[in-house]
């Protein structure tokens, strides 16, 4: 008997998925535990193994298409089995759910019409599209561009307008070599052009979660300047030692945050509506920039780990994040988050709290500036950090005490460097 394989929920925030690749075709025999497809979630592309067995009778979501969790991904059964009744029943169920969600006309409020000033020029509303719209340029506006996925990706990365490339593939299809060999300009002077990209699963979730955080959590911000001279000297000394692994300033920041959280457990907290959770363990989320947004892998029990181990884990998870291979257990469970843009030349910034954390620490770059020491103006190395706090959990005095402890650890890194801390 035919069975439905549904779009799996592969992360706690996943509401829909994109089929990145099918590893089986209609008519293939599928064994339980066999790789069926690759599903792109909001955070990673994950392999999906079938829990059922049988012949693949129907593919419900084609490669590159998006579908909600629990929708029909595929149907397995016996060879030649009719699946039309199953698909019809699923469509009827979906329509019933939609009808229940939609308000009846009697219950709908009468819309209020607000007079508006008629513009001198008509306003044309852009129609939504489910697929990328290529640049509209002059008379080429309605010309369809045939392009391979790899060539399209390369063109986007290089800022090349595909409408100016002559394809040498089958039926004039643009392929990788055409993009590599293109020497012309990507735009024409004086002609408007644009490219619309569909919002990725990752970007959708980032937008949803951070909007909820910003608009529901009352944020306030605390900024301090930290004298990094001793931290710079400590790092140089450590990296000149016989230790094979080199540490970064970010590793020192993670360690200092972790130890400071043990001193100030009220900052190592989470808001859950009816209660506040104060965590005894310290799991530091480290924001990593990837092509489509941010991922936050978690360094677990960071207060208990030496600097070299913290550094190795950050590098390992950062690479997995960029390769979209992070697993759910590697991005879940953070109790505090760090976002470091210092390496991108940013002096200081404020970050949005990463739910369910109560705080996030934004790290700026180390700047060489004049400072006053012992009554004299001398060259100094200063780093500005800003703590964003959810005022429902953390008050100003609590956040300030945490920041001062963190500042003290970085300005006196010998306090971090016990026997087992390197």
Q: 156 is written with which tokens? A: 């986007």
Active site (catalytic) residues: 391
Q: 178 is written with which tokens? A: 């055409």
| Residue indicated by tokens 């996943």 | 14
| Residue indicated by tokens 């390369």 | 154
CA dist 174 and 165 (Å) reads: 7
Exposed/middle/buried for residue 50 (C-beta within 10 Å: 0-12, 13-18, 19+): buried
Taking alpha carbons only, the member of 279, 292, 295 closest to residue 13 is: 295
How far is C-alpha 8 from the geometric centre of its chain's CA atoms? 20
Q: What are phi and psi of 155, to 5 degrees?
A: -65, -40
Which residues have CB under 8 Å from 229's CB, separation 6+? 380, 381
Q: What are phi and psi of 24, to 5 degrees?
A: -135, 155
| Residue length of the chain | 422
Taking alpha carbons only, the member of 182, 200, 189, 219 closest to residue 64 is: 200
**Neighbour tally for 53: CB within 10 Å:** 13
CA dist 285 and 26 (Å) reads: 42
CA dist 313 and 299 (Å) reads: 7
CA dist 52 and 2 (Å) reads: 10
CA dist 381 and 226 (Å) reads: 8
Strands 72-77 and 54-59: antiparallel
Which residues have CB under 8 Å from 228's CB, separation 6+? 249, 366, 381, 382, 383, 410, 411
């Amino acid at each position: 008997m035919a069975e439905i394989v549904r779009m799996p929920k592969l992360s706690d925030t996943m509401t829909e998925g994109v089929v990145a690749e099918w590893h089986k075709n209609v008519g293939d025999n599928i064994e339980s535990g066999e790789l069926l497809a690759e599903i792109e979630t909001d955070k990673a592309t994950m392999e999906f193994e079938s829990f059922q067995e049988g012949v693949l009778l129907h593919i419900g979501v084609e490669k590159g298409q998006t579908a909600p969790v629990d929708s029909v991904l595929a149907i397995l059964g016996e060879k030649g089995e009719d699946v039309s009744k199953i698909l019809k029943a699923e469509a009827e169920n979906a329509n019933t759910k939609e009808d229940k969600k939609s308000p009846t006309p009697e219950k709908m409020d009468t819309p209020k019409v607000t007079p508006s000033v008629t513009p001198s020029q008509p306003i044309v509303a852009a129609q939504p599209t489910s697929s990328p719209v290529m640049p509209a340029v002059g008379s080429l506006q309605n010309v369809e561009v045939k392009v391979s996925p790899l060539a399209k990706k390369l063109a986007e990365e290089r800022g090349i307008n595909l409408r100016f490339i002559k394809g040498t593939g089958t039926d004039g299809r643009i392929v990788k070599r055409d993009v590599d060999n293109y020497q012309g300009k990507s735009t024409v002077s004086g002609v408007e052009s644009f490219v619309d990209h569909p919002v990725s699963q990752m970007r959708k979730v980032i937008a949803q979660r951070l909007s909820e955080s910003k608009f529901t959590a009352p944020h306030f911000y605390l900024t301090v300047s930290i004298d990094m001279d001793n931290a710079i000297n400590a790092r140089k000394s450590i990296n000149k030692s016989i230790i094979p692994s080199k540490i970064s300033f970010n590793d020192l920041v993670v360690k200092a945050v972790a130890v400071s959280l043990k001193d100030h457990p009220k900052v190592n907290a989470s808001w859950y509506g009816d209660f506040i959770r104060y965590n005894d363990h310290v799991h530091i989320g480290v924001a990593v920039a990837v092509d489509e947004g941010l991922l936050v892998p978690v360094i677990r029990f960071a207060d208990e780990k030496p600097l070299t181990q913290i550094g190795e884990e950050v590098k390992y998870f950062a690479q997995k994040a960029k390769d979209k291979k992070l697993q759910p257990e590697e991005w879940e469970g953070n109790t505090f988050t760090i976002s470091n843009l210092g390496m991108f030349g940013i002096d200081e910034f404020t970050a949005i709290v990463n739910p369910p954390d109560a705080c996030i620490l934004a790290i700026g770059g180390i700047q060489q500036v004049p400072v006053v020491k012992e009554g004299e103006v001398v060259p100094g190395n200063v780093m500005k950090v800003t703590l964003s706090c959810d005022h429902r959990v953390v008050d100003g005095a609590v956040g300030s005490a945490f920041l001062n402890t963190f500042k003290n650890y970085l300005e006196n890194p010998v306090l971090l460097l016990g026997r087992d801390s390197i």
